[in-house]
Structure formats: structure tokens, C-alpha cells
């Protein structure tokens, strides 16, 4: 081998935020972070309706597949 040794870095997404009048319902992050493939689902408080996607996944670009939803009445 005559080149540089490849270096691998883990890709992490930023912590998702819970919507007003809602919460993170399920997180599959490993080791205290949100790595590629980690998923998050949200849930709205009783009497509120979710506007947006209920699930998002950390992509290979370090971004969530969907924005955090909002919870309206």
C-alpha cells in the first residue's frame, strides 16, 4: 500500500427538538448520539393534532430526513 490510510468518521445528526405541545416519543440513538440510521418519532399532547411527519431518520449527510413537526389544536 503506497497511499494514505483511509480515515472514517461517524456521522451524527443534531439533537432533534420536541414540538410545542408535544414530545419525542421514541428515540433509537445509540451511545448518547444520533448517528446515521437513528430514528425519532414524536407525539402530540392530548387535544393536539400533528402537522408534519411523525418519524424522521438521521441520513448519511448528517441531516434529518424530515423537519420536526408541530402540534396544533
**CA-closest candidate to residue 33, choices 56, 4, 57, 12:** 12
Q: Average pLDDT in the 26-30 region?
A: 71
Q: Is the pTM of this model over 0.85?
A: no
**CA-closest candidate to residue 44, choices 36, 35, 54:** 54
Least confident of 5-9, 18-22, 25-29, 48-52: 25-29
- The whole-chain average pLDDT of the chain stands at 90
The three-point CA angle 19-32-61 to 5° equals 70
**pLDDT tier at 1, thresholds 50, 70, 90:** low
Amino acid at each position: 500500500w503506497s497511499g494514505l490510510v483511509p480515515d472514517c468518521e461517524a456521522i451524527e445528526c443534531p439533537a432533534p427538538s420536541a414540538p410545542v405541545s408535544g414530545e419525542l416519543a421514541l428515540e433509537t440513538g445509540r451511545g448518547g448520539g444520533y448517528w446515521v440510521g437513528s430514528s425519532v418519532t414524536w407525539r402530540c399532547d392530548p387535544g393536539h393534532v400533528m402537522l408534519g411527519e411523525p418519524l424522521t431518520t438521521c441520513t448519511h449527510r448528517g441531516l434529518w430526513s424530515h423537519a420536526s413537526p408541530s402540534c396544533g389544536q
